[in-house]
Structures are given as C-alpha cells and as structure tokens.
Amino acid sequence: MGQGHGWEGAVLKLLRAKDFVLTVTGAEDVTEHYRRVHLTDGGMPAVTGVHPTMWIRLWFGNAGKPHQRAYTLVDPDPAAGTLTLEFALHEGCASDWARAAKPGDTIEATVHGTGFQRPQPDPTHVFAIGDPASLPALNSLLDALDSAPATIWFEGAVDGLPCRADATRHDLRQVPRRDSGAHLITEVKADLPALLAATPDPYVWIACDTATTRTLSSYVRKELGVPKQRTHALGYWRAS
C-alpha cells in the first residue's frame, strides 16, 4: 500500500492489511447499469486464500484524494490467477473507473476484514435480503449454502442481471425500491416471522444500503430473536 492512501490506508497498514495489484484483462456490459470486469488476481489467493462472499477493497483516485470501495470476488480461479468483479453502475469514481476499464489497466487492492463463518448446524432454510450492489455476494452465498432452500427479497429488478437464484430451490421476491428502503422493510416484516417460525435452523443474511441493513438486522435479532451466530448483516452502500 503506497503513501497515497491517506489515513484509511495508514489504519489498514497498522491492521496488517495485505496489498495487491490487479490487472484488467477484459470487461463487458451486462446491462446498461451493470458491468463486469475481468482481472488477474496479483497472487492474492496464495497469500490470503479464498472463501465464500470474499471481498476486497479497491483504491480509486477521487479529485486527487484516495477513495476505497469494497467489492465481492466473482468466480475466483486461483489456478488460473484470475477473478471477476461486478459493478452496479451509478455516479462516482468507482463506477467511472469500471466504465472506462480496459485490458492493461491496473488497480490496487487491499484485503482486510473479509471473512465467512459457515453457520453450524447447516441451515435448513436461508433468508437473504439484498440488491444489485450485493448481488455478487448473494450469488456466492447461494453457491456456498447450496444444500438449503432460500427465500430472497431482492430490492430492484433482476432482469438481465447475473442472479444465480434457482427457481426449483429459491423463492425470489423482487421488491421495488421505494421510500428509501422503507417498502423493503415492510415487505420483509410482513412475511419473515411466519417463515422463521417454520424453520428449525434458519440463517438470515442482510446486505442492502446501510440504513436498511441496520434496521432489519436489529429487527431480526431483537424482535424475532434470531441468534447472532445465525445472522450476518453488512451495509453495502449509503443512500444519499
């Protein structure tokens, strides 16, 4: 990690974060607002290993200042030395970088804070709440917990997106984003209690905007009584 990463980089360095340089090998537009970028892995798996829902911090220049954003690895292949990242495009330096990414471009990446604890016992049903920003992590979760059926509340439309939900095992519920996430919260609260009551070993995974994630996580743990070890919640973006 160079000196140009500011105080965030300094803190991560103190926490023994590991740093790598990834090189773009290709890119493709999945939809108008969703782009896939293919990269070399910079030798990262040999140092850090790879686990389900693993994410890395990418460093972007933003008006002369460093800016980091976290992205989930998609189909990492340590043997080939490659990985893919997917970007839900909006305004900002990360999306600008992804739109312009071409073979030969490089990006610095930091690995710190990522982890995956497989729930024990294995879940009899997975309840997942996500959106386009967390879709790569959702896909990785479904792959990792493929023995369990899942109910998925997805904020937004999956049309054209690389969603790996399988209609034979997964109940995918598309929920329009309204009222800054309040509509999603209402939908989840309407149906989740009864579904949980019918599940002996549930696992609840929440990855939406920060405010929605915080509200639903508190609801699941405090009001529905789901144990901490049977839940995972991480805010993926901040609504402006």
Q: Would you state the CATH architecture of domain 125-233?
A: 3-Layer(aba) Sandwich (3.40)
Q: What is the H or E stretch that residue 9 is in? A: helix 6-14
All structural domains of the chain with their residue ranges: 3-111, 125-233
Tokens of 126: 């997975």
φ, ψ dihedrals at 86, nearest 5°: -120, 135
Q: What is the pLDDT of residue 14?
A: 47
Dist. CA 35–CA 162, nearest whole Å: 11
Tokens of 85: 């990242």
DSSP-derived pairing of the beta strands 74-77 and 231-233: unpaired
List the chain residues with pLDDT less than 50. 1-3, 14-15
The candidate with the shortest Cα–Cα distance to 237, out of 142, 143, 174, 156, is 156
* pLDDT value of residue 59: 94
Structure confidence at residue 63 (pLDDT): 85
Q: Are 78 and 41 in contact (CB under 8 A)?
A: yes
* Superfamily, domain 3-111: Translation factors (2.40.30.10)
Nearest CA to 86 out of 132, 155, 146 is that of: 132
In this prediction, residue 113 carries a pLDDT of 83
Q: Where are the alpha helices (DSSP H) in 36-181?
A: 44-48, 93-100, 135-144
- The torsion region of residue 146 among left (phi > 0), alpha (psi -120 to 50) and beta comes to alpha
> pTM of the entire structure?
0.90
Give the pLDDT confidence of 29-86 residue by residue, as tens digits.
999 999 999 999 999 999 999 999 999 999 998 888 888 999 999 999 999 999 999 9
